[in-house]
Amino acid sequence: MTVKRVTTLLAALVALGVAGGAYAVQRAPAPAQKPVPAAVTAAAVPRPDHIVLVMFENKKYSSINGSSSAPYFNSLAGQGAKFTKSFAITHPSQPNYVALFSGSPQGITDDSCPRNFTGKENLGHQLIAAGFTFTGYSEAMPSDGYTGCSSGTYRRKHNSWVDFDNVPAASNLRYSRFPTDFTTLPTVSFVTPDMCNDMHDCSISTGDTWLKNKLDAYAQWAKTHNSLLIVTFDEDSNTSVNQIFTVFVGQHVKIGNYSETINHYTVLRTIEDAYGLSAINNAASATPITDIWQ
């Protein structure tokens, strides 16, 4: 091989080496794979300064929803979150009240009175033990702390908090004690109208008018004062479906219709989550309501 050919070959090999080197630089290792984002956590339940829950009686969802006899109920639905698949737990009335308050019917299957539970956990006791406050307000109850089964249009079977020995008598008040200065309300209040105004013995329109006259002022106030109104029913009109009308209205509530299935345990679990309380009994397996909040 001549010197010229050797020189040419060497030059070609050098050129290839340079190109290979450049190519190697261009083929640097691919960047590490980006970490997979953590699963998005469901929005927490906000903590209202006050929750007022009022329970009506024995009307199925279709008897209230869109009814000309219930204009105020439907007005509230247009101001908050209406649940189109809300259900009670059972029949008759009393076990539903107890279930909403304690996460279990506590073995109750009828409306017999009195019922007394010793050391059973419940929402009222939980709130008080955690440094919050609870009061139940019953219309037509003859005196604060009353433990009798009936008086006039008052029925103890619709007053679940009186059944639990760990809820103080001071938390069992007449509805006439419900404050007009809403800033003085307890953290959580349960309200029970009397046997007429809750629609048990009187018409839907009677209950509708009562709700507007008694609690609209609070509903409007709640929308600007970090508070919440929950309106629901104990059960439907004794059908196997047991679908009820339930509405949440308040400052952090996104207006709309919500189609997830909820029941009394769901409502209890949502209130417990709002205040960082442990879910009790059947509320522990319920999913809190998280999609309605601003």
For the segment 67-116, what is each residue's pLDDT rounded down to a tens digit? 999 999 999 999 999 999 999 999 999 999 999 999 999 999 999 999 99
Distance CA(23)–CA(145), nearest Å, equals: 88
Which residues face 137 on adjacent strands?
A: 173, 191
> Residue 143: its pLDDT value, please?
98
For the segment 12-58, what is each residue's pLDDT rounded down to a tens digit? 443 444 344 433 434 444 434 333 333 333 449 999 999 999 999 99
pTM of the complete model: 0.86
CB count, 10 Å around CB of 287?
Answer: 13
Kindly state the average pLDDT of the residues 147-152.
98
Residues 6 or more apart whose CB falls under 8 angstroms from that of 210 comprise 193, 197
Whether 145 shows a pLDDT value over 60: the answer reads yes
> Residue 119: its pLDDT value, please?
97
> Residue 59: its pLDDT value, please?
98
Whether 246 shows a pLDDT value over 60: the answer reads yes
Domain residues of the chain, as ranges? 50-285
Topology of domain 50-285, CATH: Alkaline Phosphatase, subunit A (3.40.720)
Per-residue pLDDT band for 254 (boundaries 50, 70, 90) equals very high
CA dihedral 73, 79, 84, 88 (to 10 degrees): -60
Q: Are 138 and 154 in contact (CB under 8 A)?
A: yes
> Residue 24: its pLDDT value, please?
40
Kindly state the average pLDDT of the residues 228-246.
98
> Roughly how many angstroms between the first and final C-alpha of the chain, as a whole number?
85
